[in-house]
Amino acid sequence: MSRSITEIRNGRQHGPVTSFVSQHNVAQLNPFVLWDHFQAEGLEGTTGFGFHGHSGVATISYPVVGDIIHEDTDGNQGKLEAGGVQLMASGAGVLHKETVYPHQGDTDAFQLWTLLPQDGFEMGPVTYSLAQKEAVPVVATSDSETKVLVGKHADAVSPARHCVDITYLEIRLNPEATWAHAVAKGQSSGFIYVRSGEVSLNNRSLRARQLGVLNQSDADFSLTAGNAGAVIMVALGQPLQQPIISSGPSIHSSRERLAKGTGNIQRLTTSLRETSRKAV
């Protein structure tokens, strides 16, 4: 079966965030369960998200403009510079905080979430890793540059490893250029997001700030840019064969695990508050 676009989404904007996956369609792109674009201009000082909890998911952060400082209750912390990628698997529960440092008042970043496999990872320990821009491989041709954030493209493999079988790419295409990708066996779920310009797949076009849901297939495919070129993101993954039960910040394979993960987050929140009061 050839690849095609089955649905085009324009997203739902709330403040500086545009979301393309919601509670009613959370299972459609399995293993991907969130795709957010965070963009703001003219900021003074830092912005971001204070301590908040997750369980059962992995969060993958990719800042294009501006840096992100990460801190979590498992003791992980680090500065992710623009152009790098950060992956945190929340396991049985964690609180984390992300402080965004805009560049000349502007910030532009993406966050992708995946499920965690129910055996060994969904209720497992927290893991954290990042690869700065200079460590992320780029495959260059005469017509395109492909940045391999997670997974593999051509012979390039990202140092950012994940327990879920996914490919996550950023592609810059010259005007009217064609880009092709050999899909890994089993990576039958996925989407294309257009950051700028226009691309087409099998005669269906996507414009800037649109997400195209791909049909279920692991066939190879190619994209063609419009006459102004394009910058796009592509996410492909192997669906996990497990139930998907979501509360929003926590997503699990059973209600019992969801309750346990939520309880762990509540305990961590109480502990953090007590620690903060003692420090005052």
Of 68, 166, 67, 151, which Cα lies nearest the Cα of 116?
Answer: 166
What's the CATH number of domain 5-279, 3.40.220.10, 3.30.465.10, 2.60.120.10, 3.30.1490.20?
Answer: 2.60.120.10
Averaged pLDDT of the chain: 95
pLDDT at residue 94 above 80?
Answer: yes
Higher pLDDT, 273 or 88: 88
Q: Give the max Cα distance, the chain.
A: 62
pLDDT at residue 277 above 80?
Answer: no
Question: Which pLDDT belongs to residue 280?
Answer: 58
Strand partners, 239: none
Question: Which pLDDT belongs to residue 2?
Answer: 87
Q: How far apart are CA 141 and CA 150, in angstroms?
A: 19
For residue 201, what are the contacts with CB-CB under 8 A and spacing of at least 6? 3, 4, 5, 192, 212, 221, 222, 223, 224
Hunting for tokens 């209750």 — which residue is that?
A: 73
- pTM, entire model: 0.95
Question: Which pLDDT belongs to residue 276?
Answer: 76
pLDDT at residue 243 above 70?
Answer: yes
Q: How far apart are CA 264 and CA 179, in angstroms?
A: 45
Question: Which pLDDT belongs to residue 7?
Answer: 95
Q: What percent of the chain has pLDDT over 70?
A: 99
Q: Domain locations in the chain? A: 5-279
Hunting for tokens 């840096």 — which residue is that?
A: 67
- What is the helix (H) or strand (E) element at residue 277, kind and residue range? helix 255-279
pLDDT in tens, 164-201: 999 999 999 999 999 999 999 999 999 999 999 999 99
pLDDT at residue 49 above 90?
Answer: no
